[in-house]
Amino acid sequence: LISEAVRGEGAILRNLDGEDIMTGVHELGSLAPRDIVAREIDRQMKRRGDRYVHLDTTAIGAREFEERFPAISERLHEFGIRPGVDPIPVVPAAHYMCGGVAVDLHGRTEIEGLFATGEVACTGLHGANRLASNSLLEALVFADRASRVPGPTDVAPTPPLPAGPGDGGPPPDEGVILEHDWDAVRRLMWDYVGLVRTRERLQQARTRLDGIQKWAEDLYRRCPPNADLAELRNIALVGLLLASAASERRESRGLHYLAGQTATDPVPRESWAVWRPGELPHVELRPLPAASVATGGRTDPEDGSRDAST
C-alpha cells in the first residue's frame, strides 16, 4: 500500500509514456481526492490497455524518501524498485469499507450486548467518502467509547447456540468450485460494483451474486461446517447487499459513482439493508437525520426492524 502522503510530498501520477495523468482532471492534480485519482487511474488503464500507471517520486529524491517513508522504502526494495529514482507501478485497490453494521455513538448494535467497532461498523464518521487515516481514529475512538459502557449487573446464562449447518450430506468436497466462486465474487465486485458503476452492470452483478449466494446457502445448511464454504456464503451475501444498495441510489455521492448520474441529490440519504419479521431482506434509502449530519450519530429505529447500514 503506497500511502497518500507520498503524493502529498510531491509524487506525480504518470502513464507509461511519462505524461501527468491528473493534469486537466482536477485543480489539485495528483493531490486530488482519492476517489477522483482512483477513477482516473482506472480510466487510463482501460483506455490504454496498461496494467498499471507510474508514481513518479523523483521530485522527493531517494534520501528524503527513505527518511520519510522507511517502511514503504523497505517494501519497494524487496521488489527491486529504488524509491525516489525508479517509477513505482500502482493500481487502485479496495482498501476500506465505509459502511457496515449500524451502531450508535458508543458502538452498540441493535442486538443487546453486541458491540461493533472498526471497519465492521458503520458509525457515520466517514460520511460518503473517507478521509485518509480516519480509519485509525475511528477504531481508537469508538473502541474506547464502547469500552466505557457499563456492563450489566446481572449476567444471564449464555443461551444454547442455534442450530448450525446440517450434517445430512457429505462434506463439501468441491474445493475447485468453492475457489472458483470465491474468485467470481471478487471479479464481480471489482468489475461490476467497483470504481465506476452503471445500472446494467449492477443488475448483472445482483443476478450472478444471488445465484452464488443461494447455492452456498443451500450447501451450507446441508453439509457439516466448512470455513471456506461459510466465508463464500458470507461474502456473496455482503456483495449482494452492496450491489442492491447501489442499484437503489439514483445519484453519484462520494465513493458511489454512477455513470450518467453524476449529479448529487439535494437530500442526503443512507442505504439500509432491512430485515423485518415475515419479509425478505430488502434495501431502503432513508433521509439522513439532521443529528447524524452534525455528529455522525444515529437514532435507533422505532419499528423494531433489524437493520444493517451498507
**Which residues are annotated as catalytic?**
34
Pairing of strands 282-287, 306-309: unpaired
Q: Which residues contact 245 (CB under 8 A, 6 or more apart)?
A: 271, 273, 283, 310
Report d(CA 258, CA 192) in Å as an integer: 11
Q: How far apart are CA 34 and CA 3, in angstroms?
A: 11
Instruction: Round to whole Å and give the CA distance between 308 and 270.
Output: 11
Alpha carbons 124 and 105: distance in angstroms, whole number = 9
Record the cell numbers describing residue 99, joined without a space.
459502511
Rounded CA gap, 242 and 238, in Å? 6
Instruction: Give strand pairing partners of 282.
Output: 274
Q: Among positive and negative, which fits the CA dihedral 244, 249, 251, 255?
A: negative
